[in-house]
Amino acid sequence: MDSSRPASSDHNIDPARRDFYARSGERNLAPLWEVLHTLITAEPQSAVRPHLWHYAALRPFLLEACELISAKEAERRVLILENPAFKGQAKITQSLFSGLQIIMPGEVAPPHRHSQAALRFIIEGEGAYTAVDGERTTMRPGDFVVTPSWTWHDHGNTGTGPMVWLDGLDIHIVKLFEASFREGAAAGPGEATTPAQPEGYSAARYGANLLPVEDDRGGPSSPVFSYPYARTRAALEAMRQRAPWSRWHGLKMKYANPVTGDYAMPTIATFIQLLPKSFKTAPYRSTSSTVFVCVEGRGRTRIGEESFAWGPHDIFVAPSWVRHSHEAEEDAVLFSFSDQGVQEKLGFFREEKAEG
């Protein structure tokens, strides 16, 4: 074995070196030269497996979970979307958690707060709300809602049918830094928070192309905590005739914090993109493994050597530095999220836009 490579077994290692490794190991020392090239790879070697979850196949499991446990007992009744490469680790990518949450009519998910920030992307249902720091917002399919780090939040379903949304959390980023705090329902304001502000307050204060001259809301998260799909979709439709189309992304926009112009969340970058019927994107790859949710339409995405056909509510993941390209069979809208904002700030984000 080449001694510059890591040894899976050490029987080919020179006895003098092996003896040295054993004695230095007892002093909690290890030779870098045995592991250098697995620590520092020439390019990303993502362990993430490309994968697609068909919503039709997982929806019955969500309904079955409702028979087994209440939202209250579960605290959050979520089925984790586990990357097949990371079974038991609650990871959809190395840095991000994702899951599908279901809440039935009359149920509440009690208030709690934690260091981890969450995004909600609404899949189906109507009549449920989420409350963030004392303000409720009604959730409708396609809406994107931000729950910033350390804000009290609870959910309730005042409608007549099941409500399902996708959760995305920066759990594994916080875990890397060992910076997790949580305050549970017991320490919180009770069963469900009583709203301190009327619904629509944040949208009026921060989301009308106006900002208060004496602001009270600094911080890295967007104070516009709900981005309703009706507005997002109308914007894409209004732009489609004249907007420059990207060969790699179609018509793709980031969700922005209106105070800073940065991503809506500091740890999770979120995007919406329109791919018109028959549009085929050129191969693209970046260092951020990305989760996509089909909002409307149908199409397929080639990820590395595999091809995934998707329709409404299907969820799929493309690993870091693996080329992918989309093809829309009908007008299609994709929501996506990744750790791109973090990597950009830390200075190592890279992307490649291939010809073709």
Select from 94-102, 199-207, 265-273, 286-294 the region that touches ligand 1HN (CB under 6 A): 94-102
Binding string, residues 98-127; x marks residues near ligand 1HN by CB under 6 A: -x-x-------x--------x---------
Alpha-carbon dihedral sign for residues 121, 238, 285, 313: positive
Query: Per rule CB under 6 A, is residue 133 in the interface with ligand 1HN?
Result: no
Nearest residue (CB) to ligand 1HN, 103 versus 322:
103
Select from 95-103, 304-312, 317-325, 326-334 the region that touches ligand 1HN (CB under 6 A): 95-103
Q: What is the number of other CB atoms lying within 10 angstroms of the CB of residue 281?
A: 23
Query: Per rule CB under 6 A, is residue 331 in the interface with ligand 1HN?
Result: no
Number of residues in contact with ligand 1HN under rule CB under 6 A: 10
Query: Per rule CB under 6 A, is residue 82 in the interface with ligand 1HN?
Result: no
Q: How far is the CB of 112 from ligand 1HN (least distance, A)?
A: 6
Of 77, 91, 136, 153, the one binding ligand 1HN (CB under 6 A) is 153
Nearest residue (CB) to ligand 1HN, 76 versus 298:
76
Q: How far is the CB of 321 from ligand 1HN (least distance, A)?
A: 27
Query: Per rule CB under 6 A, is residue 169 in the interface with ligand 1HN?
Result: yes
Nearest residue (CB) to ligand 1HN, 21 versus 150:
150
Nearest residue (CB) to ligand 1HN, 78 versus 294:
78
C-alpha 248/C-alpha 245 separation (Å) is: 9
Nearest residue (CB) to ligand 1HN, 53 versus 279:
53
Q: How far is the CB of 28 from ligand 1HN (least distance, A)?
A: 34
Select from 93-101, 156-164, 186-194, 242-250 the region that touches ligand 1HN (CB under 6 A): 93-101
Query: Per rule CB under 6 A, is residue 167 in the interface with ligand 1HN?
Result: yes
Nearest residue (CB) to ligand 1HN, 44 versus 188:
188
3-state secondary structure the chain: CCCCCCCCCCCCCCHHHHHHHHHHHCCCCCCHHHCHHHHCCCCCCCCCCCEEECHHHHHHHHHHHHHHCCHHHHCCCEEECCCHHHCCCCCCCCCCEEEEEEECCCCEEEEEEECCCEEEEEEECCCEEEEECCEEEEECCCCEEEECCCCCEEEEECCCCCEEEEEEECHHHHHHCCCCCEECCCCCCCCCCCCCECCCHHHHHHCCCCCCCCCCCCCCCCCCCEECHHHHHHHHHHHCCCCCCECCCEEEEECECCCCCCECCCCCEEEEEEECCCCECCCEEECCCEEEEEEECCEEEEECCEEEEECCCCEEEECCCCCEEEEECCCEEEEEEECHHHHHHHCCCCEEECCC
Query: Per rule CB under 6 A, is residue 78 in the interface with ligand 1HN?
Result: yes
Q: How far is the CB of 30 from ligand 1HN (least distance, A)?
A: 34
For ligand 1HN, the binding residues (CB under 6 A) are 76, 78, 97, 99, 101, 109, 118, 153, 167, 169
